Amino acid sequence: MKRRDFLRLSAGTLLASQLPLQLQSCATKKKVAAGTTLNIKKIEIPVGIKKPFSALHIADTHITKVDSRDVERKIMLAADRSRPFALGEHYLDEAIHYARANNMLLIHTGDLIDFVSEANLDAAKLHYDAADWLVAAGNHEYSLFVGEAKEDEAYKKQSYDHVQENYPNDLTFYSQVVNGVNFVALDDVYYNFTERQHELMEAEMKRGLPVVMLIHVPIYTPKHAQHELESNGGKCAYMTGAPLEMTSKYQCDPSLPADQQWRNRSVQQFSDKPTLDFIAWLKEQPLLKGILCGHMHYFYEERFSKTAIQYTVGATYDGDAYEVLFR
């Protein structure tokens, strides 16, 4: 399922009284067909190290668990949204087994869960405790009911602390050196970077190590943006840092009430100055060797700068993964 199809999901219609107290993902209660294995695409990122190593990169698992701790509205939400993501946990388990069997680092670049629930966060902790992970947040990490309100920093704060305590590293900004490569995870879930993230990234570059950046939303690159616009009828590109001349033409309904204007993609994905400044600076950094991201639910690769290609991985619930050789 591509992102444009994913966004067409309608609201659930099942009554809560018809549902069990715990809605497990279909991966745990449904027999998985034989041969349902990962769709692994192998890539190489040259980083200039003496001893190559590999990682498995996935994103967009969209776990949809609820239980008796959740309100009726969330139980109905899970009943509707669990259908397209039925194999998400199955493929997540496959990814963990594959990475462990091949001595690989695991990387997840956002939307492990589809919305905030106690059962989803329990599942996140369970899977993250099962292996060595580096992770970036996705917009759904903080989604309470999926599209019910304007998603901004105030919205994120409602669930941030509870989500963070179940994830293996800091979700706003995190750096970890693995075998001489500096993996830096940043939060760009609402299509922006902050001045503080810029300052922190400058400090990371001063360490003099090759950098691989982990984000959820892809940074604007022209061919990828054009591809997405053509595929969704020009609605929007779903990319961080798209130029203002592009975002100004995104889907816009001026008839929406003032308190609903945030629903317009031109508002949601507006590129502010700190974001554009950060991206312009990032393009000039020779130590940046690659960007790993998700969000789009399909594979796409495009050069971001002279030294870095941006790799967008398909969705875990479709079985997609990158096997990345760092050399």
Least confident of 1-5, 19-23, 216-220, 291-295: 19-23
- The confidence band for 261, taking pLDDT boundaries of 50, 70 and 90, is confident
Task: Give SS3 for 213.
Answer: strand
With a cut of 90, say whether residue 23 has pLDDT above it: no
Interatomic CA distance for residues 59 and 138, integer angstroms = 9
Nearest of 58, 62, 60 to residue 107 by alpha carbon: 58
Reply yes or no on whether the pLDDT at 20 is more than 70: no
What is d(CA 11, CA 81) in angstroms, rounded to the nearest whole number?
A: 8
**pLDDT category, 35, cuts 50, 70, 90?**
low
Q: Is the pLDDT of residue 15 over 50?
A: no
Which pLDDT value is given to residue 12?
A: 35
Report, as an integer, the average pLDDT of 89-95: 97
Quick one: how many helices (H) and strands (E) in the chain?
A: 12, 11
Model confidence at 28, pLDDT cuts 50, 70, 90, reads very low
Using the predicted structure, report yes or no on whether residue 124 has a pLDDT greater than 90: yes
| pLDDT of residue 279 exceeding 50 | yes
Q: Are 243 and 220 in contact (CB under 8 A)?
A: yes
| Alpha-carbon gap, residue 248 to 46, rounded angstroms | 37
Cβ–Cβ under 8 Å, residues 167 and 110 = no
Confidence tier at 5 by pLDDT (50, 70, 90): low
DSSP category for residue 218: P
Q: How far apart are CA 218 and CA 292, in angstroms?
A: 8
pLDDT at 30: 40
Highest mean pLDDT among 75-84, 193-202, 241-250: 193-202
Q: Is 291 exposed, middle or buried (0-12, 13-18, 19+ CB in 10 A)?
A: buried
Question: Mean of the pLDDT values across residues 35-54?
Answer: 94
| Banded model confidence at residue 21, pLDDT cuts 50, 70, 90 | very low
Return the pLDDT at 7.
54
- The whole-number pLDDT of residue 8 equals 46
Structure tokens at 212: 């691989």
Q: Three-state SS for 89?
A: helix
The whole-model pTM stands at 0.89
Question: 9-21 in b/e burial notation, b at 16+ Cβ within 10 A?
Answer: eeebeeeeeebee
Domains of the chain and any CATH numbers:
26-326 (3.30.750.180)
Using pLDDT thresholds of 50, 70 and 90, give the confidence band for residue 1.
low
Mean pLDDT of the chain: 90
As a whole-number percent, the residues of the chain with pLDDT over 90 amount to 80
